[in-house]
Chains A and B, each alone.
Chain A
Amino acid sequence: MALLEVKDLTCSYPNRSRVLDRITLAIQEGPFISILGPNGAGKSTLLKILGGILRPDEGTVEIEGIRIQWNRDVSFLLSYVPQSLHIPMEMRVIDFVLLGRPHALHLSGRVRALDVEKAFYALEQVGCGRLWKENVIELSGGEQQKILIAKALAQETKVLLIDEPVTHLDLRNQIEVLTLLRTLAKEKDRRVIAVMHDVNQAREFTDYAVFLRGGKICAAGASQEVISKETVQTVFGIKVEERMGIFVSN
């Protein structure tokens, strides 16, 4: 059974050419997968289709053998972490993480003990246990990203879809978040699919990489092999050089 199987996926927004053009992909291996490509390549669109958020024009998606259908509850199978969080109201961190537990509330409105424990455990896992009483809006970018992941962990799904997890973070937080994701994939038996920008980080942290360009798949394969000088040059249309295992512009 493939971890991810995508067949003939086509998607277009009104008044725009195709964002995704008949994508077919089957990924067997790699618990940590990155989707790479230039801006507007269709990365986030692909991620949203995988999460059942966007309806494709055509094509099918299967994750862990389960067909993803648009507008259905898929919270048992996958959790989706958006690029950034915007909650313009008072919400405690723990209440936010509890939303990852779909049936946390009794009919009486009280929170179930098991769900409280799991939510606190998820917060501990991302190293933010002490923040549980804080207001989500008052956290720093790195902390927000971590509690987003905590909510996804509390959901206890096998698959984690993450849209640009480190884009707005400083270097220390980037490393912390990516290490956390890798640990989850390697040790906690999760499957992480992340849209990423930095090819160097993708090569260092992820197991499998998919390159998109203009709505089509350019390359896909084990990160160490597929993230090469040639692929990066073709996909991004720039000249790069590899120095000490890191791509730098030429």
Chain B
Amino acid sequence: MIEEFYRIERRKEWGAFLLALLCVGGAFLYLSVGVVPVGLRDTIRILLGFREGVDPSHLLAIEGIRLPRLLASLLVGAGLALSGTAYQSLFQNRLADPFVTGVSAGAVLGCTVAILLGFPSSFLGLGGITLFAFLGALGTSVLVFLLLGVLKRASSATILLIGISLNFFLSAVVSLLLFLHRNRIEAIVLWTMGSVASATREKVFFALPMFLLGAVGVFVSSRALDYLVLGEDIAQVHGIRVKRVRFHIIFFASLLTSVCVSLSGVVGFVGLVTPNMARILTGTRHRSLLVYSSLLGSLFFLGSDLLAKTLLSPSEIPVGVVTSLLGVPVFAGLVWRSSRRIY
């Protein structure tokens, strides 16, 4: 028994390594595919900084456009998956994710307000937009949590109902704001569609430290998450300061959500589907679960965006559309697989 236990543990470690390799492979594919195809050799040369003899159009395509977009995809995928995992374990419910609970919609409202207040998409303006997105996301998560506390029971149906109502409510507020400021509509609609096409180097540089902060914050709470899944009482006996830890997790998960939303707008299903896939692969021990989730999230988002920009090339589909088209069948499969008792 014990030997088999260790064998499975080793297999899980190799699994994580394999996922990381797939991410790297996917990244190279992502860089070379596009309107201007770039060979693998040129891609590697550009990445390593050997620019002599490289076609300038290739240089522009990779350095100017695809690299920031690649990084944005990786960040958003991992960020949504991490915050989805955290919300699910915190709410003890595998349907909870930033999109379903309405936290993403809160972040969009924050972005809208920031844009209407006149923050430009420059480096400093991005700070304002992300800050407002963060406040929107945090406010919404706290609201969801308070509502669940009032209703006492966090059943799947309750969370979905609260999430759906909040989603409608917040979207209605955004629509109202759009209606009142019809002249600025274009800058805002971008955020509600879900796309990383507009990712720039500045945006990525700005998002990276906040992403790292959020990711570290979530990873640090992995032990607490392990116990919170078992319920508050057991967590408390094990010395988890439930109230404090809960706020800590909500804070960093909201930070991750808002970084993702300010980079890509609302992208659904990544934070819902990939943590559930990770749970099937590695179980609910958060040290490895979070690693698996973030890698799967990156991979899923990368694949979706690759499809988004190549399927109807030269025109593009918003990546949010692709993640939903891919995510719904995967999710239906997950529900079917575990329909016995889990919901």
A→B interface (CB under 8 Å):
48, 51-53, 71-75, 78-80, 82, 85-92, 94-96, 98-99, 102, 105, 109-111, 116-117, 120, 129, 132-133, 137-138
Contact = CB atoms under 8 A, between A and B. Distances in A.
Given A75-B238, A91-B229, A105-B223, A86 B1 contact: no
B287 A86 contact: no
Contacts of A138: 340-341
Contact of B231 (A86, A102, A129): A86
Given A91-B284, A116-B2, A137 B239 contact: no
Contacts of B238: 73, 75, 99, 102
B278 to A, nearest CB: 10
Given A71-B241, A99-B227, A120-B2, A91 B283 contact: yes
* Most chain B Cβ neighbours within 10 Å, of A78, A110, A117: A110
Contacts of B341: 137-138
B236 A53 contact: yes
A80 B4 CA distance: 30
Contact of A86 (B88, B92, B223, B283): B92
A82 B227 contact: no
A94 B7 CA distance: 14
B93 interface: yes
Closest 6 CB pairs of A and B: A73-B239, A109-B287, A91-B284, A80-B237, A90-B279, A75-B238
B233 A105 contact: no
Interface of B: 1-2, 4-6, 9, 88-89, 92-94, 223, 226-227, 229-234, 236-239, 241, 279-280, 283-285, 287-288, 291, 338, 340-343
B233 A95 contact: no
B115 to A, nearest CB: 38
Contact of A89 (B5, B279, B287): B279
A161 B198 CA distance: 57
A132 B5 contact: yes
A82 B5 contact: no
26 contacts: A51-B233, A52-B237, A53-B233, A53-B237, A73-B238, A73-B239, A75-B239, A79-B237, A82-B231, A87-B230, A88-B93, A88-B342, A88-B343, A89-B342, A90-B280, A90-B283, A90-B284, A95-B283, A95-B285, A99-B230, A111-B9, A117-B2, A120-B2, A133-B4, A137-B342, A138-B341
A90 B284 CA distance: 6
B279 A74 contact: no
Contact of B236 (A71, A88, A91): A71
B295 to A, nearest CB: 14
A87 B343 CA distance: 11
A217 B223 CA distance: 39
A231 B13 CA distance: 59
Contacts of B1: 120, 129, 132
Q: Of residues B234, B338, B340, which shows the largest number of chain A Cβ atoms within 10 Å of its Cβ?
A: B234
Contacts of B233: 48, 51, 53, 80, 82
A110 B9 contact: yes
Contacts of B6: 116
A55 B280 CA distance: 37
Contacts of B92: 86-88
A98 B288 CA distance: 15
A74 B240 CA distance: 10
A90 B237 CA distance: 23
A156 B2 CA distance: 20
A74 B226 contact: no
A120 B5 CA distance: 10
Nearest to A72: B239
A95 B236 contact: no
A178 B64 CA distance: 70
B237 A99 contact: no
Nearest to A100: B238
A220 B94 CA distance: 45
Contacts of B236: 51-53, 71
